[in-house]
Amino acid sequence: MNRTKSRLARSVSAGLAGAAVATTLLLAAPMAGAREPDVWPPKPSTSESEPRPYYVNCTQVQREESGPLLAGQPGYRPGLDKDGNGIACD
């Protein structure tokens, strides 16, 4: 009878260990695909080695750009954004 109890104890222990491993894997799986949320507004695409353009006024922006400058874009500065809405020369 001792042999039967020993086998039963090993079987129960193995089952509990397997259940613990499975539970750990299931709980960790959703976190594996987690990522940082997108950042808005996007960071400027220029690297530190590239010079940032400087526009004297909105006439120069309109002449050299295809549209208004958005906050975070190279060349944007608060002095060109009269109403402070993040869109210069609109």
Q: Per residue in 13-70, pLDDT tens?
A: 655 555 555 666 666 655 555 566 666 666 666 556 678 899 999 999 999 887 899 9
Q: Are residues 48 and 90 in the same domain?
A: yes
Overall number of domains in the chain:
2
pLDDT for 68: 92
Q: Which domain holds residue 26?
A: 1-35
Classify residue 60 as exposed, middle or buried by CB count within 10 Å of its CB (0-12, 13-18, 19+): middle
- Residue tagged 């260990």 (tokens): 17
The verdict on 45 and 22 lying in the same domain is no
- Give the span between the Cα atoms of 76 and 80, in whole angstroms: 7
Domain identity same for 72 and 52:
yes
Residues 44 and 83 in one domain: yes
- The number of C-alpha atoms within 13 Å of 88 and in the hemisphere containing its C-beta is 24
Cβ–Cβ contacts within 10 Å for residue 54, how many? Answer: 9
Specify whether 43 is located in the same domain as 85: yes
Residue found by looking up tokens 């949320």 in the block: 37
- pTM, whole model, 2 decimals? 0.44
Indicate if 49 and 88 belong to the same structural domain. Answer: yes
Q: Are residues 31 and 45 in the same domain?
A: no
